[in-house]
């Protein structure tokens, strides 16, 4: 439930920033920070990347066609422990880098 509140506020923050409303954007930032204090620490950076690469190897995924298999496992096992957008970006980049 708290993650949904953060997501909603993040969407509002993006809109306020696009529409040049710094005072409203700042209010959303502050509310996001307060809510995040009550959430467990999220995986990110190298730690998240390592987990994703391990799951890619475990599933035998070799190309972007296998991305659904990897994403399914990640979202099922790591939901709430890492941001979905971060997971998706790392998976996409892993496949793009391997295909070059």
Element holding 68 (H helix, E strand): helix 67-78
- C-alpha 46/C-alpha 23 separation (Å) is 34
Asked if 31 and 16 touch (Cβ cutoff 8 Å), the reply is no
Q: Is the pLDDT of residue 97 over 80?
A: no
Q: Is the pLDDT of residue 98 over 60?
A: no
The pLDDT of residue 100: 35
User: Which phi and psi (to 5°) does residue 27 adopt?
Assistant: -60, -45
Can you list the domains of the chain with their CATH numbers?
A: 2-36 (no CATH), 45-99 (1.10.10.410)
């Amino acid at each position: 439930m708290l993650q949904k509140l953060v997501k909603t506020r993040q969407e509002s923050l993006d809109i306020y920033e696009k529409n040049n409303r710094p005072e409203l954007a700042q209010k959303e930032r502050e509310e996001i920070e307060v809510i995040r204090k009550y959430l467990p620490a999220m995986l990110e950076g190298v730690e998240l990347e390592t987990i994703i690469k391990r799951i890619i190897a475990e599933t035998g995924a070799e190309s972007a066609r296998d991305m659904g298999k990897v994403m399914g496992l990640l979202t099922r096992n790591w939901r709430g422990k890492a941001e979905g957008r971060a997971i998706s970006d790392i998976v996409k980049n892993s496949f793009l880098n391997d295909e070059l």
